[in-house]
Amino acid sequence: MNRRKIVLLTALALELTFAGQARAQSSVTLYGVLDEFVGYQSTKVSGKSTSLVALGNNGELTSRWGIRGSEDLGGGYRAVFDLENGFDPGTGSVQNAYRFFDRQAWVGIAAPYGEVRLGRQNTPMFAWSGNLDAFSAATYGSGYNNFANWLARVDNDISYISPKISGTQVELHYSVGGQPGSLAEDAVYQAAVQSNVGPVYLALAYLNAANSTNTVRVQEIMAGANYDYGWGKIYFGFFRANDIISATTGNALANPAGKYNPATGPVGNVAGNYHNTYSFSADYHISPFLSIGAGYAFITDSSSLDNTAREFSAIVNYDLSKATRLYAVVSRLNNSNSAQYKMTGASITTGAFLTPGAGQSETGAQIGIRHLF
């Protein structure tokens, strides 16, 4: 073998060695969810009894695909990122027409003392709400989700996520408003803590969002717990918000400072007016594959409208595998005065739900399938 061949073979071996090491130190994962259901809803709309049967999506989880990655930088440091897109499996269309990675788009550094992320991120309220509800804060049956409607994601977010110490983890967020000469206008501030103490899980989160002139501030508080009694869990969830941008429809905070939809104007509220949501639920595992659950939730309105509502629900989950689940839900939602709360599931697209008339009640049922990959 001549010298040239030896050099080429050596270079090739070195390239393969270092390439293998690079692959070992880095990882990129494609992941996702597919969720489809057949749903039924019945209510009165404009004084007329109306029913809907629809093939819907995003009943228990929002359908999505994403790419997450991690690169080992040495010394306990890692570069991390996540890009996530929501879509409608019924039509194949993107869920959000004005942005591609509508769910998450961030990059950061993870270290032994915590993780710093920059970009569009989930709020702790959204990420942890499923731990406070037997319905995972989704499906027609989650009164907690239907009434509370916390802000799910924030743009231009800078976050710090602490390591878990004795089962406790802290998150701090500041969303840059992007208004010249001001750090407060259009800004969103968040602080949250969650903790596991034996069979008890506890969560507390706070959000403060300003409009573009810093003249209106929306404030949200989420708190709750669950208790693992061995055969299932007992859940309690609480949510409080001073946003009454759509008091007659009962929608809580949706567009702080236009951060969710840039085409939507700033929020509005009235000082001293709050919506308080309370949720009580529990589940029981009949077998490792089959579970049942039930819940009750209600919302109070301190404004002069007094738009209150309550909901009773039940759910059955059957796991065909670790990745595939069948679920069935029945629920009854009762609106009072001019309230128009509705059953919205995880993130159901228009056409798969009904909005009741003012003060009208609503009945709902779902049978769905959810697959994780």
pLDDT tens profile 239-285:
998 765 333 333 334 444 334 444 444 344 455 578 899 999 999 99
Q: Would you state the structure tokens that stand for residue 213, as one six-digit string?
A: 């002139």
Note the pLDDT of residue 7.
44
Note the pLDDT of residue 350.
67
The Cα–Cα gap between 350 and 331 comes to: 19
Note the pLDDT of residue 16.
44
Note the pLDDT of residue 17.
42
Note the pLDDT of residue 249.
35
Q: In terms of CATH architecture, what is 26-372? A: Beta Barrel (2.40)
Note the pLDDT of residue 217.
77
Which residues does the chain have with pLDDT short of 50?
5-14, 16-22, 24, 245-269
Note the pLDDT of residue 4.
56
Across-strand partners of 276?
240, 300
The Cα–Cα gap between 98 and 121 comes to: 17
Note the pLDDT of residue 2.
54
Residue tagged 């700033």 (tokens): 266
Note the pLDDT of residue 93.
86
Note the pLDDT of residue 5.
46
The Cα–Cα gap between 66 and 29 comes to: 8
pLDDT digits 0-9 by tens, 139-184: 999 999 999 878 888 888 999 999 999 999 999 999 987 777 677 7
Residue tagged 């961030």 (tokens): 106
- Look at residues 87, 56, 30 and name the one whose alpha carbon lies nearest to residue 369: 56
Yes or no: say if 296 and 278 are a contact pair by the CB < 8 Å rule.
no
- Look at residues 121, 122, 54, 119 and name the one whose alpha carbon lies nearest to residue 88: 54
Q: Would you state the structure tokens that stand for residue 218, as one six-digit string?
A: 């929306």
